[in-house]
Structure 1
């Protein structure tokens, strides 16, 4: 029997009890990992124990009525027992989430199109917060923010779920960030290092290579054991498809989950995307694994939240954003952490991306997220247009973890480079007026040109840290000083190739120990030998 009043459902039907029992069975921890391959008899006994302990529970459901619906937001009356972030189910089968609690009505966002939701429709409270499927079954898949596959590769069979909103690890649960997360990008690993468990903002104007920087970092995690989650928020579907294709080409989908809320999706779906991706990543972190998550990008996430908030009739503040926009991103990014050994020692490293307008990093959303993160990598439009790529402005970029997130060899070699590069940039802008220069200034400019040439790097070609150490060793010890600047990239690539081919133990030693001093004599003689051999050789491009 089901008895319905204006705002309550008294549901004593068998169907309700079966649905409730099914949910309890799905959520039951079977500990299958400990059993190996469980027998049918063992599974049957487990389920029988759950059924024997089953209590029918309350028969009363809260039922609301849609007062108004539009643009993915529903105002509902009569739902007096609603809680924040509680899941609701609409009469047409769509799901939503409670986001506003008022005296006489509730505001809920709807996931999906919601085209056939109308005023007067019934809405049921489901008594649980929103969650998503998690687990290794998602690795290599492309899913929407509800965890449903959208890559055409069939259903995802996982029984584990996590709430999309979860408290960040406390101070006592964390360890200091002191293990490098190598990006494979020379300018970052040398000057703005990122550690496992850090939150490093990538910020810059449109079309300055922000996504390329994040994708390079994902590609560089191959064979390192670091799992990756890429969350696309408000991107064009074609752009996301190109990113996925790049990940497939380089074999990165083997350790990556892609969560997509494209520009065609509604604001509530875009709002949910980073929290869903974070929940999927946290599952691995709490298992003791290292995870990298990219939010691309949070400025579009803020715009989606602003649209929802205005529809929910929340008062607008600065630049029409609601007052809790800071809390929106703080509670997301604070979940990135490096856990202590007592909590299995996993880590979650966050790379949020924010788009600026005309390089204005003092706008509302950029300043909010800069104050939450542990540093930022600022991509400069002028540098990008001048052909310096990745277009990292080392003057405005900073990592608050610094040398703690570098191997000792890199820390020793790259120390003075930031200052020298910043001085070179200042001198370049000064000398464009045609002033006569003394010899010391000319030497400084020549050194800066070589540093800039070494730090240039093409897209989708991350460099292992041992090769980077050899490159910076050559830079610091003057191997490039008597060489034309345009010849440096070829010479560097040729040195790496010959050492890989003839002296692979040099790279292995640097990678294993983090130092180069033990092999410095062999490294010096090898480099001198290669330089002598290559002195009379022209790059292939010049020969052609």
Structure 2
């Protein structure tokens, strides 16, 4: 090159010399057919399972089925602009989502894209949505309680940090409300809250967000939304994305609580994708791996050992039943995976018993060891007493005059049932729950008419704050006597 060549010519020559002129390969395929958010692609023989594929129009999807001739790709964006014949490129990456503190207080889609209009999310770390569950050696015993603020749950079916407790019931029986109340109760705890909405109506998601903003600490919450109008691919990855976001805090030694609302709709989405990608249907047209997809998801909730930082991830998955049929395919699968279930009964709900928890069918297989000692001592034989009351109530409907002992049990049981009622988005503190149970077990509510029990419960927090432990029971007895004098008891 001449020494008198212009400066820009010399710069261009230097750049060309630095470029490595070697052959480069790219994985390119072709869309053979596209329908209902699933594309069948040819020409990508080296694609891995769950690898992200990029279409020439900028849309993305992930490989879900790997057949010798065709790849079943589930789209993560609208399929309206993808057509047969379009080029598709492999990326060599799996689906990743942003994680970290930048997500707190935000509403995002399963890919971490903001939905709340608060600007971009500056996350410094991205993790794959599919991650292995902690091994047995990496786990610790579930011993610390999760205070949900719901009296019937904390007293009868206590939860522990690292537990997986299924919330199951018919449509519109308060499943989401119970889960949201558990998230709201963490406003005064050290737990990070993640709410994942899968296939839910926009109005339902909006109500949940409003409740968290109004009653909870939304700055310590993450909301992941894959609505019913979103692509099936987004709905399918939503629980896994939410779990990855929660695991970030667990692995840092913090504590997280995730609600997945709900896995019945996620199973239906999985069935839809499986049928569209021509997988063999099984029972109720679900593919054979429907149990596995939820097992590998919920196994990621755990209490880690001290060597791993001691963090925990507690899961509250939700499932919907049809006419209370707990033996249906998906509810049965989820019950076998989780560490217990809270069953909501439609009949109780319509009778006004809210939360409509069926005490006989609900169970926590871990909670007895995690329940706060003060609450466990205060509750005592509450569950047994309540179960006996429900049986006696059924028998006394046939007529006859019960003796004095049975009448006393019926009176006590009716007050227990009234004490377990609770308004939505009004969680109880642990001290309030302990005091209420002590009052119930001491028989202070037996002299009250049923209509006065809510007044007693409403006045309880102020007395608990004001009185010392030595004078608390006397103050509660005085309150009960005052309410009993205001409205004389009537036969119940």
TM range (shorter): over 0.9
> Alpha-carbon deviations, 1:136-184, whole Å to 9, x = none?
0110100011110011111111121010000000001111101000000
* Pair 1:402 & 2:367 matched: yes
TM-score (norm 2): 0.93
Aligned positions of 1:168-317 closer than 5 A: 168-317=133-282
Partner Cα separation in structure 2 for residue 413 and residue 498 of structure 1: 17
SS of the residue 2:114 aligns to: coil
Residue matched to 2:32: 67
Partner Cα separation in structure 2 for residue 57 and residue 369 of structure 1: 53
Residue matched to 1:161: 126
Residue matched to 1:41: none
Give the CA deviation at 1:536. 4.7
> Alpha-carbon deviations, 1:316-360, whole Å to 9, x = none?
000111000000100100000000111111110000000000000
Give the CA deviation at 1:533. 5.7
- 8 Å CA contact 2:200–2:226 kept in 1: the answer is yes
> Alpha-carbon deviations, 1:80-135, whole Å to 9, x = none?
11111111101110011011111112111010112111111111110111100111
Residue matched to 1:516: none
Partner Cα separation in structure 2 for residue 437 and residue 172 of structure 1: 56
Partner Cα separation in structure 2 for residue 284 and residue 57 of structure 1: 44
Give the CA deviation at 1:57. 10
* Pair 1:346 & 2:314 matched: no
Residues 538, 74 of structure 1: alpha-carbon distance in 2 compared, 3 angstrom cutoff: same
Residues 56, 183 of structure 1: alpha-carbon distance in 2 compared, 3 angstrom cutoff: farther
Aligned to 2:347, which of 368, 372, 382? 382
Give the CA deviation at 1:492. 2.5
Partner Cα separation in structure 1 for residue 261 and residue 441 of structure 2: 36
Residues 74, 468 of structure 1: alpha-carbon distance in 2 compared, 3 angstrom cutoff: same
Gaps of 5+ in 1: 1-54, 507-518, 540-544
Query: How many correspondences in the alignment?
Result: 471
Give the CA deviation at 1:524. 2.9
Residue matched to 1:18: none
Partner Cα separation in structure 1 for residue 23 and residue 347 of structure 2: 64
Give the CA deviation at 1:252. 2.7
Residue matched to 2:429: 464
Give the CA deviation at 1:295. 0.3
Residue matched to 1:48: none
Partner Cα separation in structure 1 for residue 352 and residue 383 of structure 2: 19
Residue matched to 1:423: 388
Deviates more, 1:167-176 or 1:480-489: 480-489
Residue matched to 1:7: none
Give the CA deviation at 1:56. 11
* Pair 1:524 & 2:489 matched: no
Aligned positions of 1:81-96 closer than 5 A: 81-96=46-61
SS of the residue 2:161 aligns to: coil
Aligned to 1:106, which of 71, 74, 78? 71
Give the CA deviation at 1:428. 1.8
Residue matched to 1:487: 452
SS of the residue 2:225 aligns to: strand
Partner Cα separation in structure 2 for residue 472 and residue 498 of structure 1: 14
- 8 Å CA contact 2:145–2:367 kept in 1: the answer is no
TM-score (norm 1): 0.84
Residues 442, 531 of structure 1: alpha-carbon distance in 2 compared, 3 angstrom cutoff: closer
* Pair 1:332 & 2:297 matched: yes
Aligned to 1:393, which of 355, 358, 376? 358
- 8 Å CA contact 2:456–2:479 kept in 1: the answer is no
SS of the residue 1:173 aligns to: coil
Partner Cα separation in structure 2 for residue 126 and residue 319 of structure 1: 35
Partner Cα separation in structure 2 for residue 59 and residue 432 of structure 1: 82
| RMSD between superposed Cα atoms in Å | 1.9
Aligned positions of 1:8-27 closer than 5 A: none
Give the CA deviation at 1:58. 8.4
Partner Cα separation in structure 2 for residue 394 and residue 207 of structure 1: 19
Residue matched to 1:512: none
Give the CA deviation at 1:294. 0.3
Residue matched to 1:14: none
SS of the residue 1:473 aligns to: helix
Give the CA deviation at 1:77. 0.8
Residue matched to 2:84: 119
Residues 154, 183 of structure 1: alpha-carbon distance in 2 compared, 3 angstrom cutoff: same
> Alpha-carbon deviations, 1:471-492, whole Å to 9, x = none?
0001111111211121112022
Partner Cα separation in structure 1 for residue 21 and residue 450 of structure 2: 78
Partner Cα separation in structure 2 for residue 537 and residue 239 of structure 1: 41
Partner Cα separation in structure 2 for residue 495 and residue 159 of structure 1: 46
Residues 320, 177 of structure 1: alpha-carbon distance in 2 compared, 3 angstrom cutoff: same
- 8 Å CA contact 2:412–2:443 kept in 1: the answer is no
